[in-house]
Chain A
């Protein structure tokens, strides 16, 4: 009955978009902040600190993104293309 043509098109365009902007904030946080060699340097970010960042993100990320979308400008810093 109702063919999901619209959804399909949206999906494909999003796919193309993804290929271009590889370094998203999500990926950076999922890697640099959460992984990598954890050695006790002189100053250490504890797991609790990282969790706090995620906790903050849940609120902050959506509000910032919404604002950027309304303004029609890309999310600076988060979606920069690799140089």
Chain B
């Protein structure tokens, strides 16, 4: 905008770090990666085509799931490659600059924040835990445990059709209430255990079944920032709660280490209202 556009393409920013990045790690994943050094920070970038990433084309491409899949994978792998040897600040997918000067100006503008962030993120890893609930299984278990429900069950079997119908209704209602109560309890206990070791915790919006492609419902979408020497303890805790609740209908999806995507925007704490 302020300077002439570089004819040879746009600059795609993946992440920044304060150590000389090992580009060899990502040379087979990203097309000609390089870094821009500015005021003690290294920005890992590459050139991308205007025909793909300028404003108009980017908008069009964002409607193309295949394109997003391919490009988001490159974005992720590039940052993970650099992350092997250095503490990184990951940028959001498709952070694009017209010129090197514009990128440097951005670095200067946020220098203090970035430096503070790199200190905060040093020797830490992001891990994600998504918890899902199979409500059928949860309820099945409840019936076995709950005396009141067991009694209703017996009564239903020995009742005339009319009464049995009403009892079934009552059973359903009680079961739903009990299931909700249990789910809150399991979720809370799990979450309380999960946050024992991490230094940072973030709860994200729940994703619908259409996006998760699972039959069970997501009940917690969380991210944790953990000291590297505490990751083992954290994973043991995940195994603990997994052992405790899997038979009761919960499923724990624990992934990591991720670039610290969830811990780079202190101002963006609440994502629910996004």
Contact = CB atoms under 8 A, between A and B. Distances in A.
Interface in A19-49: 22-23, 25-45, 47, 49
A45 B94 contact: yes
Interface residues of B, number: 63
B268 interface: yes
Contacts of A67: none
A29 B140 CA distance: 34
Contact of A65 (B77, B213, B261): B213
B119 interface: no
B211 to A, nearest CB: 6
Interface in B161-218: 204, 207-208, 210-213
B92 A78 contact: no
Given A35-B264, A35-B265, A26 B137 contact: no
B65 A23 contact: no
Contact of A39 (B72, B91, B204): B91
Nearest to B63: A56
Chain A CB count within 10 A is highest, among B90, B258, B259, for: B258
A32 to B, nearest CB: 4
Given A32-B75, A56-B63, A37 B207 contact: no
Contacts of B253: 18
Interface in A44-61: 44-45, 47, 49, 51-54, 56-61
**Residue among B98, B110, B211 with most chain A CB within 10 A:** B211
B255 A27 contact: yes
B95 A54 contact: no
Contacts of B255: 22, 27
Given A32-B72, A42-B98, A43-B55, A37 B204 contact: no
A83 to B, nearest CB: 7
Nearest to A35: B261
A44 B97 CA distance: 9
15 contacts: A4-B137, A18-B253, A27-B255, A31-B128, A31-B262, A34-B92, A35-B264, A39-B91, A39-B106, A42-B1, A43-B53, A43-B58, A45-B93, A57-B211, A78-B69
Given A4-B137, A56-B65, A78-B73, 15 more contacts: A22-B255, A25-B72, A27-B258, A29-B211, A30-B204, A31-B259, A32-B261, A35-B92, A37-B91, A42-B102, A43-B10, A43-B55, A43-B94, A60-B65, A77-B66
